[in-house]
C-alpha cells in the first residue's frame, strides 16, 4: 500500500502533467483554501469583478437606458450561443433567462402541449427537490399526473401515457451520471419527450444534446460554469420543436416584437420565445464575462481530468481512510463530484471547512466534494482526504 509520502509525490507529478493546470491562475482562489464546492457555487474568474464594474460604470452609468439598444436586449440569446457548444447544441437553440425552476416550468408545460392526449409526467425518483416540486405543480395545473421512477428503469416504465420524462443528468447526491443517449432513445420509442436537467453536468461532462436527440433541457450557470451566485439559467429547445414551443409565461421579452406594445402576445419565431420578463443584466453580463475561461478548453480533456481527479480521490480514500464509504460510482458513469458517507456529515464538513477544505454536505449523511477540472488540483484532493482522515482519528 502507498503511504502519504508516495501519494504526495504522485499528486505533484499529476499536477505537473495536467494540461489544464494553467487555467487555475484565471480564478480568484485563496492559496490556503482547497475549494470543493464548485458543484454548488463555482469560483469567480479573476476578470469578472473588473468587467462588472465596467458595466456599472460605463454601460449603466455612462450610457444609461441607451444600453438596451446597444447590446443589452440581445444578451440572453448572445450568451446562450456561448453556452451552446458546452452542451453540444447548434446555434439558435439556447437562451439564458430566468432561473432553473422557472425554465423547468416553461419546458414541462410546453412538453405537455406538444404531446396532447398523454396524461403522465415521469420524474427521476432521485431528482433535485425543486424539479419534483415544479413537476407536481405543472401536473396540477395541466390535469396530468406525476409518477416518480428510478432513472435506469425508465425504458420499462415509459408508456403511451407518458408525455415527458424529467431526468437529472447527474444525481446531485451520489454524483452518478445517467446515460443520456440510451434513456432519450427509450423515451422516443414510446413517443414521449426527454427533458434533461444539466445543472450538475454542464461544465463537467461533455453533454451532447443534439447528437443524442434531446428535446428540451435546462441548466444553471452558477456551478461549474462559474457565473456567480444567482446567475441566470439556460433553456434548450431542439430546433424541431422551436416553432411549436408553446411556453406558459407569455412575457414581453418573448414576444416577436416586444416594443410594439400590442394588446395580444405573439411568440418570437426563434429561441427568444423562451424568454419571459426583463433580463437581470448585471448577473447576465457577469456570466458572459465568466464564460471567457472556457475559450480554448477541449471538452474531452476536461472530462479526462475530471475522471482522473475522481480516480485519485478513490485511491487516496482507499489508502488513507480505513472505513471509507463512497456513494459515487467508480466507473465512468459519474459526474465530477465524490460523495463520501459520514454519520456526522454536518459536523464533519464544518470541521473540514474550518481547516480550509471547503465542500458541502447533504442530509443526512453525505459529504460532497466537487471536482472542477479548471481549478481543482490533485494536491488538493490529497489534502481533502488527509484532512478527513485526521478528523476521524
Q: Which of 368, 369, 375, 378 is catalytic?
A: 368
Is 36 a residue of the active site?
no
Sequence-ordered list of residues with C-beta below 8 angstroms from that of 119, at least 6 positions apart, any chain: 143, 144, 145, 161, 163
Is 147 a residue of the active site?
no
Q: Which of 222, 245, 313, 378 is catalytic?
A: 222
Is 236 a residue of the active site?
no
Is 46 a residue of the active site?
no
Chain centre to alpha carbon of residue 98: 14
Q: Which of 197, 215, 288, 342 is catalytic?
A: 197
**Are 367 and 4 a contacting pair, CB within 8 Å?**
no
Neighbour-count burial of 263, counting CB atoms closer than 10 A to its CB (0-12 exposed, 13-18 middle, 19+ buried): exposed
What secondary structure does DSSP assign to 327-359, as a single string?
-S-SSSSB-SEEEEE-TTHHHHHHHHHHTTEE-
Q: Which three cell numbers stand for residue 181?
A: 443517449
Q: Which three cell numbers stand for residue 366?
A: 453525505
Give the other-Cβ count within 10 Å of 315's Cβ: 16
Q: Which of 23, 82, 118, 223 is catalytic?
A: 223
**Are 384 and 369 a contacting pair, CB within 8 Å?**
yes
Is 368 a residue of the active site?
yes
Cα(28)–Cα(30) distance, integer angstroms: 7
Q: Which three cell numbers stand for residue 244?
A: 411549436
Active site residues: 128, 197, 222-223, 368
Amino acid at each position: 500500500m502507498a503511504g502519504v509520502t508516495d501519494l504526495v509525490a504522485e499528486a505533484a507529478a499529476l499536477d505537473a502533467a495536467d494540461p489544464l493546470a494553467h487555467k487555475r491562475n484565471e480564478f480568484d482562489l485563496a492559496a490556503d483554501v482547497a475549494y470543493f464546492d464548485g458543484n454548488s457555487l463555482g469560483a469567480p474568474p479573476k476578470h469578472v469583478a473588473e468587467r462588472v464594474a465596467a458595466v456599472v460604470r460605463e454601460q449603466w452609468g455612462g450610457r444609461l437606458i441607451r444600453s438596451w439598444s446597444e447590446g443589452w436586449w440581445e444578451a440572453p440569446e448572445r450568451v446562450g450561443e456561448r453556452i451552446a457548444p458546452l452542451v453540444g447544441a447548434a446555434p439558435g437553440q439556447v437562451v439564458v433567462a430566468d432561473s432553473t425552476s422557472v425554465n423547468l416550468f416553461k419546458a414541462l408545460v410546453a412538453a405537455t402541449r406538444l404531446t396532447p392526449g398523454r396524461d403522465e409526467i415521469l420524474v427521476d425518483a432521485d431528482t433535485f427537490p425543486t424539479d419534483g416540486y415544479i413537476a407536481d405543480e405543472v401536473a396540477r395545473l395541466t390535469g396530468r399526473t406525476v409518477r416518480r421512477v428510478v432513472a435506469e428503469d425508465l425504458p420499462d416504465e415509459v408508456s403511451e401515457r407518458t408525455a415527458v420524462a424529467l431526468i437529472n443528468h447527474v444525481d446531485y447526491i451520489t454524483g452518478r451520471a445517467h446515460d443520456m443517449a440510451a434513456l432519450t432513445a427509450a423515451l422516443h420509442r414510446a413517443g414521449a419527450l426527454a427533458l434533461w436537467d444539466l445543472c450538475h453536468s454542464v461544465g463537467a461532462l461533455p453533454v451532447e444534446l443534439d447528437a443524442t436527440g434531446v428535446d428540451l433541457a435546462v441548466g444553471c450557470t452558477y456551478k461549474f460554469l462559474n457565473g456567480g451566485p444567482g446567475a441566470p439559467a439556460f433553456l434548450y429547445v431542439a430546433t424541431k420543436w422551436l416553432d411549436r414551443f408553446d411556453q406558459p409565461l407569455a412575457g414581453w421579452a418573448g414576444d416577436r416584437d416586444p416594443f410594439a406594445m400590442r394588446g395580444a402576445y405573439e411568440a418570437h419565431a426563434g429561441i427568444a420565445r423562451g424568454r419571459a420578463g426583463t433580463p437581470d443584466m448585471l448577473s447576465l453580463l457577469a456570466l458572459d464575462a465568466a464564460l471567457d475561461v472556457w475559450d480554448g478548453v477541449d471538452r474531452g480533456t476536461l472530462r479526462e481530468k475530471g475522471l482522473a481527479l475522481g480516480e485519485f480521490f478513490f485511491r487516496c480514500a482507499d489508502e488513507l481512510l480505513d472505513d471509507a464509504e463512497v456513494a459515487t460510482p467508480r466507473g465512468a458513469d459519474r459526474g465530477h463530484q465524490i460523495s463520501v458517507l459520514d454519520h456526522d456529515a454536518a459536523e464533519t464538513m464544518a470541521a473540514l471547512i474550518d481547516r480550509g477544505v471547503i465542500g458541502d454536505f447533504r442530509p443526512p449523511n453525505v459529504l460532497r466534494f466537487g471536482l472542477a477540472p479548471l481549478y481543482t488540483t490533485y494536491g488538493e484532493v490529497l489534502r481533502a482526504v488527509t484532512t478527513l482522515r485526521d478528523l476521524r482519528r
